[in-house]
Each structure stands twice: as structure tokens, then as C-alpha cells.
Amino acid sequence: MTEEPYRWIEAIANRREYIENQLAAGSPIAALSCADGVLFVTVSREQQKLFEIYDRIAMGGIGHPGDIERLRMSAIEVASAEGFNRSANDVSLRRMAAYSLSPVLKNAFEQIYGPPFLARMLFAELGRNGEPDLLLRLDYDGSFHVNGGAADPERFAAISGKEHSAKMMEQFLSGKQCAHLSSAEALPVALEAWVVGHLTLAREEGEFPSSEEIATHRQEQLRTGTLEAVLLDRRAHSNTTFRPLKM
């Protein structure tokens, strides 16, 4: 089958559709940079969705728990081995994603006889010495997109089960000025972004939800789900900056 290139392309397209369908129900994750650090927010049902990867790196993922777990372990291993072999300052999210995770994801995605990773991830790295924070979205096919860093003034990122839902979240966040907010002030903003993402997930592409819709949906969802929020704390006294937040 794979001797014929167009069949391979077709197989890849089918596979993409299959994965997108599998991810479609995934609860969104919003991350934004604020004065206290980088804040991650989602609402989860049973499983923990936000994880510590290394001293200054955190991760959130949607998709199959088994695949998220494998990618999480891999990220922790790569970062820890680098941090031990060289130093904690040599661990870099950009390099980890570009050189370690992305090639493996792409490879798995394109080897059409093997299983792909059913996972979409959002990583963040706390900037060192006043440098801007980095937010990185990594997809099942190995493609990744960086927000933040030196070139990009956008200090937020979102992932969701569907592309238009994530776009709505980013549209929502792009109007907010969070850089000077404390984590307590930024938390409702990030939660609202999640609500926008979750609302639009259930519908086809279209209008931006009204503020009444957002408020009712937020109330409904918090009744059944658990708010999960973590902070990469810019002001942490120890090397470990990852800290779960209570509302």
C-alpha cells in the first residue's frame, strides 16, 4: 500500500481525521503568563491533567491518558537526564520539544502501521532572570507552535479538543492584559477562557459566546467538575517552582 504515494497521503489524512475525532471531547487547557508566574487552568473530571516536568517547566495534555502518560514520562526523563548531566540551567523547553518530543511524535504519526499518539499538549517554561515566559503547544503530528519568548508579545496559549475552540480561547485571552495581574487575579480570567473553550467545543464554528452564556456555563461546569490550577511560581524560594493552587 505504501509503495503508492497517494495511498500513503490518503492513509495519513484518514489518520488525522481519526485522531481529531478522538481528541474532540478533550477538556480545554488555558495557560497565561502573569506577574506571579505562569498559570495553568482547566476543569477536570477524574484525572489530573496538569503536571510538573522540571524545575521551571509544566505540562497539560488532552487525549488518551496512556499516551499523555508516555509523553509526560518521556519529557520528565529528558529534562531530568539533561539537568543531571549538565545543569538545571541547561534544560530548555524549546530544545526538548524540538529535538526530543517532536521527532518522535512525527515519526509515530507517519508510520501508518504503528499506533500514533492520541495527545495534544501545552507546555510552559518560566523565563529565567526576567526573560519572558515561553508557552508551547505540541500536537500529535509533532508540529509545535511557540507563544511568548523574545519575539512574540503574546503571553498565553490554549489547547482544546477542536481547533476553533482553541482559537476562541486565544481570541478571548488576547484582549486581556494579564502581565501585571497576580495569580489570584489572573485565575478567573484563565477560568473564563476555559469556559469559552468548553462552550465552543460543543458547537460548530460560529459566534463568540455572550457573557451571560459564559457565566451560566461556568456555574454549571464548576458544579460537576473540579477546577485544576497550577502556578509556575516566579517568586518561589526553592528551585522547584510548580505549585498547585487552591481557589
Partner 1 sequence: MENFGMRRAQNGLPGAAMPDFTAVLRRYGVLQEPPPVQANPAGQSQDPLLAGLQTQATTILAFKFCGGVLVAGDRRATAGNLVVYDRADKVLEIDRYSLMAIAGVPATAWEMARMLEHSFQFYRRSQLQELSMDGKVRALSKLLRDNLGMAMQGVGVVVPLFAAYDTEEATPRLYFYDVMGAKFEVADFAASGSGSPSVRAVLQYANAYGPRPLAKMNEEEAVLLALRALDTAAENDTATGGVDRHGRVYPLVKIVNQAGISTLPDAVLVKAYQRDLQSLPKNALTLVETE
Q: Which residues bind partner 1 (CB under 8 A)?
A: 48, 51-54, 69-71, 73-74, 76-78, 80-85, 90-92, 95-96, 99-101, 103-104, 107-108, 111, 114-115, 238, 240
Residue among 168, 227, 180, 237 at smallest CA distance from 33: 180
Angle (CA) 140-142-144 rounded to 5° is: 105
Residue with smaller CB distance to partner 1, 31 or 78: 78
Nearest distance in Å: CB 105, partner 1? 9
Closer residue to partner 1 (CB): 6 or 113? 113
- The nearer residue to partner 1, 24 or 108, going by C-beta atoms, is 108
Q: Which is nearer to partner 1, 37 or 209 (CB)?
A: 37
Nearest-approach distance from CB 236 to partner 1, in angstroms = 12
Q: How far is the CB of 235 from partner 1 (least distance, A)?
A: 17
**CB closer to partner 1 out of 107 and 216:** 107
As measured in angstroms, the least distance from the Cβ of 244 to partner 1 is 11
SS (H, E, C) the chain: CCCCHHHHHHHHHHHHHHHHHHHCCCCCEEEEEECCEEEEEEEECCCCCEEEEECCEEEEEEECHHHHHHHHHHHHHHHHHHHHHCCHHHCCHHHHHHHHHHHHHHHHHHCCCCCCCCEEEEEEECCCCCCCCEEEEECCCCCEEEEECCCCCCCEEEECCCHHHHHHHHHHHHCCCCCCCCHHHHHHHHHHHHHHHHHHHCCCCCCCCCHHHHHHHHHHHHHHCEEEEEEEECCCCCCCCEEEECC
Closest distance to partner 1 from the beta carbon of 38 (Å): 17
Please, which residue, 24 or 76, has the CB nearer to partner 1? Answer: 76
Report, in Å, the least distance between residue 62 CB and partner 1: 18
Q: Measured from the CB of residue 84, what is the shortest distance to partner 1 in angstroms?
A: 5
Q: Decide whether 76 or 227 has the Cβ nearer to partner 1.
A: 76
In whole angstroms, how large is the CA radius of gyration of the chain? 18
The Cα–Cα gap between 80 and 86 comes to 10
